[in-house]
C-alpha cells in the first residue's frame, strides 16, 4: 500500500487538479477572482487562462530555483516571481484586447495575491522536480479555468440569456439581474459546491 502511495503517476499529478483537488470546488482557494469576474463566460475563461499561465510559469521558476532560495526569504521571492509574470500577463491582455482588459479591471493585477498560486509554489513546486511541477501547474490551472467557466456560464446564461455574448434564447428572455450582481456569484458557487460535494460523497460511499 505504502509503495502505491509513493508512486504517483504523472497523469495523477495532472488529473488531481482537475477533479479530486480542484482548486475552487474542493480546496476553495482563490475566491476573490472566482466570485468577482465570473459574471460572464468570456471573463471567466480569460481570468482562468491568465491565472493558469502565471501558475505554470511561476511553478517552473520556483521549481528550478528551489535549491538556491534560502528558506527565510522564500515567500518574498515567490511573490517576486509571481508578480513578474502577472505584469507580463497584464500587458499581454492589454495588447490582445483592451476591452477585455477593461472588463477584468484590477483583478488581473490581483492575480499576484491569488492564494492558489502561492500555495502551489510553497506546497508543491518548491519540493518537486520541474517536470512534476509543470504537470501540477497545468492540472491546477486548467482545473481553476474549468471551475471559473462553470460559474461564468451559469451566471451568463441566467443573467444575460447568452453564452460568449451569443444569445441562446429567443426574443424576450427575462434576465435574472441578481446573477450578474455579486450575490449571484455566491449563489452559483454554493450551487456548484453542493453538486460536487454530493457527487464526491456518493463516490466515497460506493
Partner 1 sequence: MLKKTLDISSSPHIYKGRSTNEIMKNVVWALLPVVFFSVYSFGLNALLVIATATFASVLTEHVLCRLSKKETTIGDYSAVITGLLLGLTLPPSFPLWMAFIGGIIGIALGKYIFGGLGYNVFNPALVARAVLQAAFPVAITTWHPAFLTDRFSSIASSVFTLPFMEPKFDVISGATPLSAFKFDGVTTSTAELAFGQVSGSAGETCAVIIILGGIYLIARNMMNWRIPAAVLLSAFVLSGILYSINSELYPSPWFMLFSGGLMLGAVFMATDMVSSPITPIGLWIYGGIIGILTIVIRVWGGLSEGVMYSILLANAISPHIDSIIKNRVYGTKRKIKTA
Q: Which residues bind partner 1 (CB under 8 A)?
A: 169, 172-174, 176-179, 181, 183
Distance separating alpha carbons of residues 14 and 142, to the nearest angstrom: 9
CB 60 within 8 A of CB 146: no
Q: For partner 1, which is the closer residue by CB, 33 or 184?
A: 184
Q: For partner 1, which is the closer residue by CB, 115 or 180?
A: 180
CB of 32 to partner 1, least distance (A): 22
Distance separating alpha carbons of residues 125 and 58, to the nearest angstrom: 9
Identify the residue whose cell numbers are 447568452. 162
CB of 187 to partner 1, least distance (A): 8
CB 23 within 8 A of CB 138: no
CB of 170 to partner 1, least distance (A): 8
CB of 169 to partner 1, least distance (A): 7
Cα 99 from chain centre: 21
Identify the residue whose cell numbers are 468577482. 36
Distance separating alpha carbons of residues 6 and 23, to the nearest angstrom: 22
Q: Is 119 exposed, middle or buried (0-12, 13-18, 19+ CB in 10 A)?
A: middle
Q: For partner 1, which is the closer residue by CB, 61 or 179?
A: 179
CB of 176 to partner 1, least distance (A): 4
The total of other beta-carbon atoms located within 10 Å of residue 6's CB is 6
CA angle 200, 138, 206 (to 5 degrees): 15
Q: For partner 1, which is the closer residue by CB, 6 or 174?
A: 174
Q: For partner 1, which is the closer residue by CB, 70 or 172?
A: 172
CB of 124 to partner 1, least distance (A): 34
Q: Which residues contact 15 (CB under 8 A, 6 or more apart)?
A: 139
Q: For partner 1, which is the closer residue by CB, 113 or 181?
A: 181
Amino acid at each position: 500500500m505504502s509503495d502505491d502511495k509513493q508512486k504517483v503517476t504523472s497523469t495523477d499529478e495532472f488529473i488531481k487538479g482537475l477533479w479530486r483537488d480542484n482548486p475552487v470546488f474542493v480546496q476553495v482557494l482563490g475566491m476573490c477572482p472566482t466570485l468577482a469576474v465570473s459574471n460572464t463566460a468570456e471573463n471567466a475563461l480569460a481570468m482562468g487562462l491568465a491565472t493558469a499561465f502565471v501558475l505554470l510559469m511561476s511553478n517552473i521558476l520556483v521549481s528550478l530555483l528551489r535549491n538556491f532560495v534560502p528558506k527565510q526569504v522564500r515567500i518574498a521571492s515567490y511573490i517576486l516571481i509571481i508578480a513578474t509574470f502577472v505584469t507580463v500577463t497584464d500587458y499581454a491582455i492589454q495588447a490582445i484586447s483592451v476591452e477585455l482588459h477593461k472588463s477584468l479591471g484590477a483583478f488581473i493585477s490581483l492575480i499576484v495575491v491569488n492564494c492558489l498560486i502561492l500555495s502551489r509554489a510553497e506546497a508543491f513546486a518548491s519540493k518537486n522536480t520541474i517536470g512534476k511541477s509543470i504537470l501540477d501547474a497545468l492540472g491546477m490551472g486548467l482545473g481553476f479555468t474549468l471551475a471559473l467557466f462553470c460559474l461564468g456560464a451559469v451566471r451568463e446564461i441566467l443573467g444575460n440569456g447568452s453564452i460568449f455574448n451569443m444569445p441562446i434564447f429567443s426574443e424576450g428572455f427575462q434576465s435574472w439581474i441578481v446573477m450578474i450582481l455579486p450575490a449571484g456569484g455566491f449563489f452559483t458557487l454554493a450551487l456548484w459546491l453542493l453538486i460536487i460535494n454530493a457527487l464526491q460523497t456518493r463516490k466515497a460511499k460506493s
